[in-house]
Homo-oligomer: A and B are copies of this chain.
Amino acid sequence: MPNAALLETFPNPYPERDYEIAMECPEFTSLCPLGGIEGDADDLKALQGGAPDFATIHITYVPRDVCVELKSLKLYLWSFRNDGIFYERAVNRILDDLSKVTQPRWMEVVGDFNIRGGIKSVIRARIGARTPE
């Protein structure tokens, strides 16, 4: 189950400068909350839950006082592994959890999900305005 308590931070080493941190996490996996699109109820009993979803999660932000600690982020993303959750909710949830612990100047989370039913989905959410180039 997504566990925001796993997230840790460390003090931003350059708080006086606005700079951008981007992380790409290609090993995100969770379960479909319905089991729906591709399997029927009987099959899914094998997994005691819904069908697996796979995504690459992109996180970009400008830190204020703290940065996300990389290893804790990995563990936090692992905590979705056996949780049933919609694409839209997963991406917005990650944005909520990460922005609450880091209080960034702005942050964007993008979830790039694998093909299901012949359709690829990408969800993009953001808080704050991107620092102009």
A contact set with B: CB distance below 8 Å: 3, 6, 12-14, 17, 19-27, 29, 36-40, 43, 46-47, 51-52, 54, 63, 67, 70-71, 73-75, 78-79, 81-82, 86, 88-89, 91-92, 114-127, 130, 133
A22 touches B92 (CB 8 A): no
Chain B positions within 8 Å of A23 at CB level: 119-122
CB of A116 to closest CB in B, whole Å: 7
Contacts A3-B46, A29-B29, A88-B13 given; does A19 touch B75 at CB 8 Å = no
Oligomeric state, in number of copies? 10
Which of these, B22, B117, B126, contacts A70 with CB under 8 Å?
Answer: B117
Bound Cα distance from A61 to B14, whole angstroms: 20
A19-B92, A40-B40, A88-B67 are known contacts. Are A117 and B74 too (CB-CB below 8 A)?
Answer: yes
Name which residue of chain B comes closest to A26, CB basis. B118
Cβ B46 vs Cβ A89 within 8 A: no
**How many Å from the CB of A102 to the closest CB on chain B?**
13
